[in-house]
Amino acid sequence: MSEKKKVSLLDGFKAFLMRGNVIDLAIAVVIGAAFTNIVNAIVKGVINPLVGAFGSKDLESYSSCLKGPCVTDPKTGEVTEGIRILWGSVLSATLSFLITAAVVYFLMVLPMAKYLARRAAMQAAKEGVQETMEVSELEVLKEIRDALVAQRSGGSGAGDSSGNGPFDGDRGQDPGPGREQD
């Protein structure tokens, strides 16, 4: 019995790993990590120096002292007096986020939304044509039914008793063998 549990647990785990969602998620994480490196390189190598050109240094180096003058130890680079706020690194991270969001939106989300909208419009048009065909087929069937009902009850169709039908009496027909015509 414990072997069945082991087999079913392993089968369940294998089924979980082989589901499309898990594989898609793993691919998304790998691509996202590589994409993050590209965006960070663009922000640090291009955007930060351009924004820093308005000042005197790199964007991540901008900071302010919250309390008193900031005194930095020249040997270690640590602040010994004052409280330093590194607002340049926050601005750099914000720019990195905005660039990432813009690239994802304009290169992935927007084209996919347009594709799905076109696909939905085509599907709606296809369903509209199918519905029109069904309606026209239904109308034709109703007309056939009405014509058959009119033939049966109206007296102008085949087999009616008015004498106008094609098989009424002996008029115009061959009397057959052994019968003489009047």
Q: What are the structure tokens assigned to 181, written together?
A: 């015509």
pLDDT of 174 reads 52
Q: What is the pLDDT of residues 50-103, one digit of tens each?
A: 777 776 667 777 878 887 787 877 888 777 777 888 888 888 888 878 887 887
Answering whether pTM is above 0.75, one says: no
Closest CA relative to residue 36, chosen from 107, 87, 104: 104
57 SS3 class: coil
pLDDT of 159 reads 45
111 Cα distance to chain centroid: 10
Strand-pair partners of 81: 71
Q: Which residues of the chain, if any, have pLDDT below 70?
A: 1-7, 20, 55-57, 155-182
pLDDT of 149 reads 92
pLDDT of 12 reads 81
Angle at 72 between CA 70 and CA 73, to 5 degrees: 155
